[in-house]
Amino acid sequence: MIWNEELECMSEDEKKQLQLTRLQDVVKKAYENVPYYRKRFEEIGIKPEDIKTLNDVEMLPFTTKTDLREAYPFGMFAVPEDDIIEVHTSSGTTGKPTVSGYTQTDLEIWSEVMARALAMAGAGRKDFIQNAYGYGLFTGGMGVHYGAQKIGATVVPISAGNTMRQLEIMQDFGTTIITCTPSYALYLAEVAEKEGIRKESIKLKAGIFGAEMWTEEMRKELEKRLNIDALNIYGLTEIIGPGVAMECNDKNGLHISDDHFYPEIIDANTLETLPEGKKGELVLTTLTREGMPIIRFRTKDITALRKGKCSCGRTLIKMDRITGRTDDMLKIRGVIVFPSQIEKALLRIEGLEPHYQIVVTRPHHLDEIEVLVENSEKLFSDEVKHVEEAKKMIEDYIHSEIGLRVNVILVEPQSIPRSEGKAVRVIDKREF
C-alpha cells in the first residue's frame, strides 16, 4: 500500500522541480535565521540566491555532528523557541548530545514520512503496531508512534525491553506489526521458541527493524523464525528521526522520502559528490524542516543511491542497506559504543596501559566484543586465579562504562600495533 501516491510516485521532472524550490527555500531560511549558517555561507562567499539548480547544492557547506554539538542546546533552531513544541536528542555518549527541535509542521512531516514507512510494511487502520522502540529522548519510539496514529492503526506503546510482556501482549492483542531493533527481534523469537509459544498464536505479518546495522542473512533468519516480512528502516535524530528511508516489499534498498530529505553521496576523503550507484558517505539536507533546517549533514553512513521506478511503483530514490560507518562509532546490539569509552574504562584501572584493540564479531547473529588489553606487572601474578580476577575486573569496568559485557583478552605488552597517527582501535569482523 502506498500512503501518498502523489508524492511517492511523482515523475523525475516534477520531483526535481519540487526539490529545487524547497532547497532554495530551506537555504534562505537557514541563512536568514540561523547565525551558524549565515556565518558559514559568508565564509565561503555564497548567498541563497546562488542556488539556481539542484547541482548547486554542492556549493553549500557541510554540517557535521561536531557542528551540531557546538550549537548545543538550541543554537541550530531557525524559529523562536515558542514555536518549538518537541525536542529529542541523540544519545550523547561522546560528550554533549545533539538536540533536534520540532515545530508543529515538523511533527506533521515526521508523521507523514513515518506513515509512508509503516504503509510500506503493509500497515493500515486495522493493524496493531507493537512499538518496541524506546520512548523518550530517543526518536525511535515517538517516530513510529506518530506514523501509526497518522495512519489510524492501533499503536501499542510498549517501548523497549520486558520480553515476556512483549510476547504476552503480542499474543493477547494479536499484534500484526512489530517495530524494534533486529537483534531484539531475534531475541524475541528465541524466547518465544523457548517458551513453547505456538506459531499460530502469533499473528505478526511484518517487522520494521532499524537503529542498528544488519544483514540479509539476519533478514532471512527473522522472516523464517517469526514468519514475517522483515523490513529495514533508516533515520537519524539530526535529520528528523526514523522515517528518513524505508524498505518496501521489494526488499532491495530503502526508499528515501526525497521530497523532504535531499540525499547525496560523497567521497569521505575528497568530499566530492559521487555519481549515482557509487558507494560513499550519505549526506542529507532537510528540504522542509522549519524548526531546525540542516544543510548537507554528513551522516557517516556508507551506502549508494539508486534512481528509477521501483517494482512497488514508487519513484522515491533508493539507498542500499548501510554497510558501514566512516568513523569508528560502533553499534553493538543496538547500543552505541565508542572506542573512547573503552579507553576511559581502561584508564580508570591502575597500572594498566591504555593500549587496546576492539574486535567485533557476530558469531550467532548477535554482536560480540572482544577487547584486547595488554597485561602489565601490576595485573600479573604467578597464580592463574589472580590473572583471571584481573581479567574479570577489566570486564566489569568496561561493562559499567558501556553497559555491555565484553570478553577481555589479555595479551603481551607491545603486542598491539602502535600507530603514529590514528590508531586502529576497532577491527569489525561483522559482515554487513
Partner 1 sequence: MKLKQISIFLENKKGRLWKALSILKDAGINIRALSIADTSGFGILRLIVPEPEEAKKVLEAGNFVVKVNDVIAIGVPDKPGGLDGILEVLNKSNINVEYLYAFVAKRGEQAMVVLRTEDIDAGIKALEDGGVTILSSEEVYKL
Binding site for partner 1 (CB under 8 A): 375-377, 380-384, 387-388, 391, 409-415
User: Smallest distance from the beta carbon of 320 to partner 1, in angstroms?
Assistant: 38
Q: CB of 384: closest distance to partner 1 in angstroms?
A: 5
Q: Please report how close the Cβ of residue 409 comes to partner 1 at its closest, in angstroms.
A: 6
Q: Give the residue with the Cβ less far from partner 1, 308 or 417.
A: 417
Shortest distance (Å) from residue 399 CB to partner 1:
18
Looking at the Cβ atoms of 172 and 412, the one nearer to partner 1 is 412
User: Which residues are CB-neighbours of 26 under 8 A, at least 6 positions away?
Assistant: 285, 286, 287, 288, 289, 293, 295
Q: Which long-range contacts (C-beta less than 8 Å, at least 24 apart) are formed by 220-224?
A: 221/186, 221/365, 222/182, 222/185, 222/186, 222/189
> Whose Cβ is closer to partner 1: residue 125's or residue 418's?
418
Residue 264 CA to its chain's centroid (Å): 17
Shortest Å, Cβ 348 to partner 1: 20
For partner 1, give the closer residue by CB, 307 or 378.
378
In the complex, minimum distance from the CB of residue 332 to partner 1, in angstroms, rounded to a whole number: 21
- Cell of residue 230, nine digits: 522483515
Task: Give the per-residue SS3 of 225-265.
Answer: HHCCEEEEEEEECCCCEEEEEEECCCCCCEEECCCCEEEEE
Distance of closest approach, residue 417 Cβ to partner 1, in angstroms: 13
Following CA atoms 103, 107, 112, 114 in sequence, which dihedral angle do they give, to the nearest 10 degrees? 140
CA atoms of 160 and 180, how far apart (whole Å)? 8
Residue placing its CB nearer to partner 1 in the complex, 87 or 372: 372
Residue with smaller CB distance to partner 1, 1 or 410: 410
Closest CA to 11 of 318, 248, 307: 307
Residue type, 297: F
Least gap, CB of 382 to partner 1 (angstroms): 4
Identity of the residue, 327 or 395, whose beta carbon is nearer to partner 1 in the bound complex = 395
Cell digits of residue 181: 531493533
Rounded distance between C-alpha atoms, residue 78 and residue 58, angstroms? 22
Residue 376 CB, shortest distance to partner 1, in Å, is 6
For 120, 147, 254, 255, the CA distances from 251, given in Å and listed in that order, are 10, 21, 8, 10
C-alpha 337/C-alpha 352 separation (Å) is 21
Judged by beta carbon, residue 387 or residue 424, the one nearer partner 1 is 387
User: From the centroid of its chain, how far is CA 429?
Assistant: 20
DSSP sequence for 326-385: SS--EEETTEEE-HHHHHHHHHTSTT----EEEEEE-TTSS-EEEEEEE--TTT--SSHH
Q: CA-to-CA distance for 282 and 244, rounded, in angstroms?
A: 12
Could you check whether the bond before residue 73 is cis, i.e. omega within 30 degrees of 0?
Answer: yes
Q: Are 100 and 87 in contact (CB under 8 A)?
A: yes
Min dist CB 377 to partner 1, Å, is 6
Q: Which is nearer to partner 1, 169 or 387 (CB)?
A: 387
Q: In this complex, which beta carbon is closest to partner 1, that of residue 55 or of residue 414? A: 414
